[in-house]
């Protein structure tokens, strides 16, 4: 029996993870659940899975959750700081970090310090502070098991392999809803168009990131830290069908790919079960549905974000933290119709130029960079 805490249980990854858990009650028990604004869903989940603790980070919803769970033994906490309690709760073996954004950083650190293994969906945490997180995980002997489908693919390809034998990896990208479009088209796209991902149903922020290719940029940075690679060992290849989830090329020229239907249940199921593989009834791949698999070069001139992410990773220090914070601000602004699609990259680039560069940041430096960049980016959006 694996005891699990889910940070961000009410989101796209969180709800799919609960479906996997519900289908395997003899394997998993939920000890803590957190949600932010969706109090009703959190209450429903709590009544069904009976965890020891729930956290509602939006404090204005505390009374609603507390009242609804008053007849139970479930401890109800509110606020961002309580995420760390859900992450470090006694008896928890594995923490699924399915929160969106850099708010995941502190609870992930709390979980690692408490010796909990991490099933990591919250890529922003590794983008912001990958060196710090991976060093801490090594010190505390904690596994970080990727949930992101590309990284799960690489992770699965590396089972039984030495990481020293990796020549390079290819992260596949669907290209999103605007693949093949030029800048004059992108100038006027709406959030409704950007939210229509061709292959995956996901939360709003990552869906916009997929349309702008920032998601792939963040994933390049995520891969660097998860697999301890140099920047030049990480390549991106556009693959519209999202069947090949990513590939590893070894030093003898051989390549391994992990494949399957584009369904987040697969990597979530693998991360929860790791190191085992557990049978599932998920839909199986049929070759006749996909007679062709295509691969293209990513268009980094039209989709500047991928290029900005590579630049940030090469620069190192707090630069990835800067692009992440700026990106969180511009995506929110785009979702509120406050800036255009192409302006998002302009603001991110201005933040990279305008923010103070710190070569070897401490945790405090990261938290301050995150906060200051949000203020700076916010001003650029309103001007």
* Binding partner at 103 among ligand NDP, Mg ion, none, C-beta below 5 to 8 Å by kind: ligand NDP
Distance separating alpha carbons of residues 200 and 368, to the nearest angstrom: 34
Binder of ligand NDP out of 37, 67, 81, 278 (CB under 6 A)? 37
Tell me which long-range contacts 362-365 makes (C-beta under 8 A, separation of at least 24). Answer: 363/109, 363/129, 363/132, 365/318
176 is a contact residue toward ligand NDP (CB under 6 A):
no
Binder of ligand NDP out of 3, 4, 5, 10 (CB under 6 A)? 10
124 is a contact residue toward Mg ion (CB under 5 A):
no
User: Which residues lie below 8 Å from residue 253, measured CB to CB, with a gap of 6+?
Assistant: 167
Distance separating alpha carbons of residues 67 and 63, to the nearest angstrom: 6
CB of 82 to ligand NDP, least distance (A): 10
CB crowding 241-261: b at 16 or more within 10 Å, else e: bbbbbbbbbbeeeeebbbebb
Q: Is 277 exposed, middle or buried (0-12, 13-18, 19+ CB in 10 A)?
A: exposed
Pairing of strands 244-250, 166-173: antiparallel
- The first and second tokens of residue 68, run together, are 């609804």
> Per CB under 6 A, which of residues 79..138 are in contact with ligand NDP?
80, 98-100, 103, 121-124
Single out the residue of 32, 88, 72 nearest to residue 56, CA to CA: 32
152 is a contact residue toward ligand NDP (CB under 6 A):
no
User: Which residues lie below 8 Å from residue 370, measured CB to CB, with a gap of 6+?
Assistant: 102, 105, 128, 321, 324, 325
Residue 30 or residue 218: which is nearer to Mg ion going by CB?
218
* Binding partner at 123 among ligand NDP, Mg ion, none, C-beta below 5 to 8 Å by kind: ligand NDP
Residue showing the smallest CB distance to ligand NDP in the complex = 11
209 is a contact residue toward Mg ion (CB under 5 A):
no
Stretch that binds ligand NDP, among 23-31, 200-208, 273-281, 298-306 (CB under 6 A): 200-208
57 is a contact residue toward ligand NDP (CB under 6 A):
yes
Residue 74 or residue 202: which is nearer to Mg ion going by CB?
202
Residue 99 or residue 144: which is nearer to ligand NDP going by CB?
99
The 130-169 site mask, x for binding Mg ion (CB under 5 A), equals: ------------------xxx-------------------
Q: Between the CA of residue 8 and those of 36, 85, 122, 217, 252, what are the distances in Å? A: 7, 14, 9, 23, 41
Residues that bind Mg ion (CB under 5 A): 148-150
Residues that bind ligand NDP (CB under 6 A): 8-14, 35-38, 57, 80, 98-100, 103, 121-124, 148, 200, 202-206, 264
């Amino acid at each position: 029996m694996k005891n699990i805490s889910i940070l961000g249980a009410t989101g796209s990854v969180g709800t799919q993870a609960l479906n996997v858990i519900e289908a395997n009650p003899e394997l998993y028990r939920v000890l803590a659940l957190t949600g932010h604004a969706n109090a009703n869903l959190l209450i429903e989940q709590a009544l069904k899975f009976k965890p020891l603790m729930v956290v509602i980070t939006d404090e204005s919803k505390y009374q609603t959750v507390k009242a609804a769970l008053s007849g139970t033994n479930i401890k109800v906490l509110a606020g961002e700081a309580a995420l760390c309690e859900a992450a470090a709760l006694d008896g928890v073996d594995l923490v699924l970090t399915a929160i969106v954004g850099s708010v995941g950083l502190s609870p992930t650190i709390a979980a690692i310090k408490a010796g909990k293994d991490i099933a990591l969906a919250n890529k922003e945490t590794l983008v912001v502070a990958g060196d710090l997180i991976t060093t801490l995980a090594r010190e505390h002997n904690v596994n970080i098991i990727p949930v992101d489908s590309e990284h799960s693919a690489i992770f699965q390809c590396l089972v039984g392999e030495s990481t020293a034998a990796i020549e390079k990896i290819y992260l596949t990208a669907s290209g999103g809803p605007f693949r093949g479009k030029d800048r004059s088209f992108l100038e006027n796209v709406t959030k409704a168009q950007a939210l229509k991902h061709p292959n995956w149903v996901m939360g709003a922020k990552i869906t916009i990131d997929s349309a702008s290719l920032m998601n792939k940029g963040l994933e390049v940075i995520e891969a660097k830290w998860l697999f301890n690679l140099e920047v030049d060992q990480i390549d991106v290849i556009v693959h519209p069908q999202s069947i090949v989830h990513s590939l590893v090329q070894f030093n003898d020229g051989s390549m391994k790919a992990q494949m399957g239907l584009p369904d987040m249940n697969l990597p979530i199921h693998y991360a929860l079960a790791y190191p085992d593989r557990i049978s599932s009834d998920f839909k199986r791949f049929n070759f006749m549905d996909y007679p062709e698999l295509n691969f293209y070069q990513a268009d980094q001139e039209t989709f500047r974000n991928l290029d900005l992410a590579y630049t940030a990773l090469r620069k190192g220090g707090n630069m990835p933290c800067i692009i992440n914070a700026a990106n969180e601000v511009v995506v929110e602004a785009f979702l509120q119709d406050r800036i255009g699609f192409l302006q998002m990259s302009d603001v991110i680039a201005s933040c990279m130029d305008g923010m103070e560069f710190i070569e070897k940041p401490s945790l405090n430096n990261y938290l301050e960079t995150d906060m200051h960049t949000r203020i700076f980016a916010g001003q650029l959006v309103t001007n």
